[in-house]
Amino acid sequence: MPGFALEPQQREWCEELRALAAERLRPLAEKGEPGRLNRPLVAALGELGLLERLFSSGALDLCLMRESLAHGCTEAETALALQGLGASPVARAGTDAQRARWLPGVREGRLVAGFALSEPGAGSDAAALELGAAPDAGGGWLLSGEKCWISNAPYADFYTVFARTTPGAGARGVTAFLVPADRAGLTGTALDMLSPHPIGALAFDRVHVTPDDVIGTPDRGFRVAMDTLNLFRPSVGAFAVGMAQAALEATLAHTATRTAFGGPLNNLQSVAHQVAEMATRTEAARLLVYAAAAAYDRNEPDVPRSSAMAKLFATETAQYVVDAAVQLHGARALQRGHLLEHLYREVRAPRIYEGATEVQRTIIAKELYAR
């Protein structure tokens, strides 16, 4: 099964991606400003054909890309993922006109997309969002309210925005809109986050949208959001696996050469057992991610459960592996600029975004009891 045994050409492609990430993309990332959109990096992803592949292949390919890029350049991985997250609703549920207008630029890395679902009072409970979409006398709607922790904000060229078109209807009263960044009344600010990702807040002051801006069907936008997250949740796990693998490899090299108490660290049983545990958990997470991606590509009915399991286990595993790697490296891993210092800041966020660990457990339990 493809979820458990990669084909030789897939393994070769992953090795190529690792090399590209380290040799071509990492220098571009290092020239960028942490926490800000790096357009040269996005453009390079387009030139390499990775953004095109993002929209033309399945969930397993997406996971292989995210894992491989994360191993060599987390910033490149994040740029690819945020581009996909913001534009996938348009690719999957948008109109022909919307796709023709925006997706060529996204694939080429000329245009940048953002995914605007979360709000100051609606994070884990996404169905509780309050960004209002009031009917406009001239046709369409007027968007008023705030969005927070939004990918690529405030630098994106357009956003997939989820707004409440029917008050009091919960998830059934949400509509997805394609909102260009230059639309009158839309402003944004950057947020300074622990992880160096381009994340910001958006403010909507009677921003006009028309029926032509609707993605999918009015009042059915929550399904657009969930379909997108079901695709990307396993790949968040792949991002985590890539970081865990990088931390594991650094730890293997360090403990094999660092001497203490008369020999290399790996001669100490406590160290060797710790490394063995790190490797085992990383491999288990990888297999769970691949299995969930393969299930998505086969359109199996239990995708929400398998996606949630993959995201939950892989992100928690990566946190454990990176933390253990820091402990085994000692003080040097705490120094600014060290790989593990960087990974330690990067690894924390995936346990929260696109559904926190606790939300994933709720999804899994709900799916289990529904059976």
Question: For the chain (length 371 residues), average pLDDT per consecutive 10?
Answer: 71 95 96 94 97 92 97 96 97 97 98 96 80 91 97 97 92 95 97 92 97 96 92 94 98 95 92 98 97 93 93 98 98 96 96 93 95 80
**What is the torsion angle, in degrees rounded to the nearest 10, for the CA atoms of residue 184, residue 178, residue 50 and residue 353?**
90
Strands 174-180 and 214-215 turn out to be antiparallel
Among the listed residues 67, 75, 77, 354, the single catalytic one is: 354
Give the pLDDT confidence score for residue 4 in this predicted structure: 62
Give the pLDDT confidence score for residue 27 in this predicted structure: 97
Contact 159, 113 (CB under 8 A): yes
User: Which amino acid is present at 206?
Assistant: R
Residue 149 CB neighbour total at 10 angstroms? 20
CA angle 84, 89, 92 (to 5 degrees): 100
Give which of 330, 319, 331 is closest to 357, Cα–Cα.
319
Q: Give the chain's radius of gyration (CA, Å).
A: 21
Is residue 304 reached through a cis peptide bond, with omega within 30 degrees of 0 on the bond before it? no
Q: For residue 267, what are the contacts with CB-CB under 8 A and spacing of at least 6?
A: none
Q: For residue 4, what are the contacts with CB-CB under 8 A and spacing of at least 6?
A: 287, 290, 291, 294
| CA atoms within 13 A of residue 188's CA, in its CB half-sphere | 28
What three-state secondary structure class fits 175?
strand
Give the pLDDT confidence score for residue 2 in this predicted structure: 42
- 3-19 burial string, b = 16+ CB within 10 Å, else e? beebeeeeeebbeebbe
| Token reading at 67 | 């894992």
DSSP bridge pairs for 204:
145, 186
User: Which amino acid is present at 243?
Assistant: M
Residue 285 CB neighbour total at 10 angstroms? 26
Active site annotation includes 354 = yes
Rounded Cα gap, residues 206 and 185, in angstroms: 6
Rounded Cα gap, residues 34 and 285, in angstroms: 28
Q: Is 201 left (phi over 0), alpha (psi -120 to 50) or beta?
A: beta
Give the pLDDT confidence score for residue 173 in this predicted structure: 93
Rounded Cα gap, residues 345 and 97, in angstroms: 40
| DSSP label at residue 232 | H
Give the pLDDT confidence score for residue 371 in this predicted structure: 80
Residue ranges and CATH numbers for the domains of the chain are 8-108 (1.10.540.10), 113-218 (2.40.110.10), 223-370 (1.20.140.10)
